[in-house]
């Protein structure tokens, strides 16, 4: 349920695992730089015996602003209550997220905010939120989400639901365009000099000018030293993120996208086919996932409301 199709298929454009590693490093740096609170803590209230302090509330208001959510004092308190309920419920089922899981949650939130994960962590840090505070928030959200998904294991959208939604979206056309692509990778060592990188970039651009279709262009690419051409992959618009879809849309069929630097070297995408999808399987899969996500979100909201109604809150 948490697969990243684009990361798996086009790692150089959207590698969530690599981003998560960078987020972990950013959190560690923030923790090393974090200072102590400048004023004493006062317990404002408690939920099921778990205290909420004035400092918790102040930090949560700052965090909510960064996350572009209502940041009133009342909203901050409710957000803290939700965290406490989520993490306690997850702990009942022995769901204990690791550091990498917290980073995965940050990557997801950053994507929703259309930000780079590192930029999100930096903005949170600039707002004056300590690593302990924002990590606790993302840990609670991730843990509860994982728990609700597990509790809904085996739940699927019905064929009737999928068929009805597909008809609403226009049938096969709901998938948008279909692309058959191949990655072309010019190997460049991480230790390469600027001159060596520029020379390799020049080779890549020369190939772009000569590459007019995959039948003739792939052999040209393979004839260049230290160039790898991956096997063909077929994906539809609905399976791609917006940035990658825009890149493929503005590149004519039979041509290469501009080279981009990655850990492997300079990478380009050869668009071997771009046209109408051959079937509606991609659209059906996306609709099924969307319906399931909506069901899980509704179930999570229901569970939280029930826990909140049963919670014992003491205000000081």
Q: What is the DSSP letter of 236?
A: E
- Supply the range of the domain harboring residue 94: 19-151
Final residue in a domain of this structure, among 134, 151, 168: 151
Tell me the Ramachandran region of residue 176: left when phi exceeds 0, alpha when psi lies from -120 to 50, beta otherwise.
left
Whole-model pTM over 0.75: no
Would you say residue 56 lies in a domain?
yes
Average pLDDT over residues 205-209: 96
CA-CA distance, 122 to 118, in Å (whole number)? 6
Per-residue pLDDT reduced to its tens digit, 88-116: 999 999 999 999 999 999 999 999 998 99
Average pLDDT over residues 45-55: 97
> What tokens does 35 get?
């200072």
Would you say residue 224 lies in a domain?
yes
Per-residue pLDDT reduced to its tens digit, 286-298: 778 788 889 999 9
> What tokens does 172 get?
């096969």
Q: What is the DSSP letter of 175?
A: G
Final residue in a domain of this structure, among 258, 275, 292: 275
Helix-, strand-, coil-residue percentages of the chain, each rounded to 5: 60, 15, 30
The verdict on 70 and 132 lying in the same domain is: yes
Average pLDDT over residues 7-13: 37
Would you say residue 247 lies in a domain?
yes
The verdict on 134 and 210 lying in the same domain is: no
Q: Which residues contact 238 (CB under 8 A, 6 or more apart)?
A: 174, 175, 176, 282, 283, 286
The verdict on 25 and 134 lying in the same domain is: yes
The verdict on 126 and 184 lying in the same domain is: no
For the chain, how many structural domains are there in total?
2
The verdict on 33 and 135 lying in the same domain is: yes
**Which CATH number is 270's domain given?**
3.10.50.40
Neighbours of 255 (CB within 10 A): 18
The verdict on 147 and 184 lying in the same domain is: no
Would you say residue 306 lies in a domain?
no
Would you say residue 256 lies in a domain?
yes
The verdict on 213 and 143 lying in the same domain is: no
């Amino acid at each position: 349920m948490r697969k990243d199709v684009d990361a798996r298929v086009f790692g150089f454009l959207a590698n969530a695992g690599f981003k998560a590693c960078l987020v972990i490093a950013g959190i560690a740096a923030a923790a090393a730089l974090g200072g102590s609170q400048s004023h004493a803590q006062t317990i404002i209230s408690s939920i099921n015996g778990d205290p909420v302090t004035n400092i918790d509330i102040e930090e949560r208001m700052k965090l909510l602003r960064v996350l572009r959510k209502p940041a009133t004092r009342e909203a901050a308190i409710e957000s803290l209550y939700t965290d406490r309920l989520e993490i306690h419920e997850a702990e009942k089922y022995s769901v204990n997220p690791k550091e990498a899981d917290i980073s995965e949650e940050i990557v997801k939130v950053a994507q929703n905010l259309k930000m780079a994960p590192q930029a999100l962590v930096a903005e949170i840090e600039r707002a004056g939120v300590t690593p302990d505070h924002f990590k606790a928030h993302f840990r609670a959200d991730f843990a509860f989400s994982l728990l609700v998904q597990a509790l809904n294991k085996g739940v699927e959208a019905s064929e009737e639901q999928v068929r009805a939604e597909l008809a609403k979206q226009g049938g096969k056309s709901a998938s948008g365009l279909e692309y058959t692509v191949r990655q072309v990778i010019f190997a460049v060592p991480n230790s390469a000099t600027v001159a060596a990188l520029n020379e390799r970039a020049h080779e890549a651009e020369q190939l772009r000018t000569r590459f007019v279709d995959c039948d003739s262009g792939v052999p040209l690419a393979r004839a260049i030293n230290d160039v790898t051409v991956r096997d063909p992959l077929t994906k539809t618009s609905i399976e791609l993120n917006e940035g990658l879809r825009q890149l493929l849309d503005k590149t004519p069929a039979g041509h290469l996208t501009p080279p981009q630097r990655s850990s492997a070297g300079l990478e380009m995408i050869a668009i071997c086919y771009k046209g109408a999808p051959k079937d509606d399987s991609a659209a059906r899969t996306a609709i099924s996932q969307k319906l399931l996500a909506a069901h899980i979100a509704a179930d999570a909201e229901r569970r939280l409301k029930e826990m909140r109604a049963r919670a014992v809150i003491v205000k000081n």
